[in-house]
Amino acid sequence: CGFIVASKVVHATNGYGLNLLPKRLQNIMTAYRGQVISAIASESDVKKSIVFECVEGSHEEYLIKRVKDNVIIFGGCRHAANGEALNIVDDSTIETNVTHELARQLDRLLRRPQIFDIKSGNTNSKKT
């Protein structure tokens, strides 16, 4: 790779960033179709903001919990998809099997006895 110098930076998600790069640089990014679910957590589910959690080591799931409104956004679970969806940027449909796996994994995470607080680096006990 190398460096790109720019006066403005645009962060594009879901593979659309490929269209913003010059043709000669488009091979440095790979688009994967992504899918997320959202849920409203109860106050007792998660009291701290969580930024990332990787389920079972290599699946690259991610979780964002907003403190202000207790909304949890959980995404990933591409292992449950019909194929990897490599270079697919169409987000007009959902894969039901991915939705079910996301819900199963999120439920598993919320039932864990400990939640890692990324901001402080502490592991806090949580009542189940």
Residue-wise pLDDT for 95-117, tens only, equals: 889 999 999 988 887 776 454 44
Residue-wise pLDDT for 53-100, tens only, equals: 565 555 678 888 887 888 888 888 888 887 767 777 677 888 889 999
Is position 75 within any domain? yes
Residue-wise pLDDT for 10-54, tens only, equals: 665 655 667 777 888 777 777 777 888 998 877 665 566 665 656
pLDDT of residue 25: 77
Q: Is the pLDDT of residue 118 over 60?
A: no
Is position 7 within any domain? no
Is position 111 within any domain? yes
Based on the structure, what is the number of domains in the chain?
1
Which pair of structure tokens corresponds to residue 92?
């007009």
Is position 17 within any domain? no
Distance in angstroms (rounded) separating the CA atoms of residues 45 and 106: 11
Distance in angstroms (rounded) separating the CA atoms of residues 48 and 82: 34
Is position 6 within any domain? no
pLDDT of residue 99: 92
Is position 8 within any domain? no
Of 6, 42, 43, 12, the C-alpha closest to 29 is 12
Domain that holds residue 60: 32-125
pLDDT of residue 112: 65
Is position 69 within any domain? yes
Enumerate residues 6+ apart whose C-beta is below 8 A from 51: 63, 64, 118
Tell me the whole-structure pTM to 2 decimals.
Answer: 0.62
Is position 3 within any domain? no
Q: Is the pLDDT of residue 5 over 50?
A: yes
Distance in angstroms (rounded) separating the CA atoms of residues 112 and 101: 17
SS3 108: helix
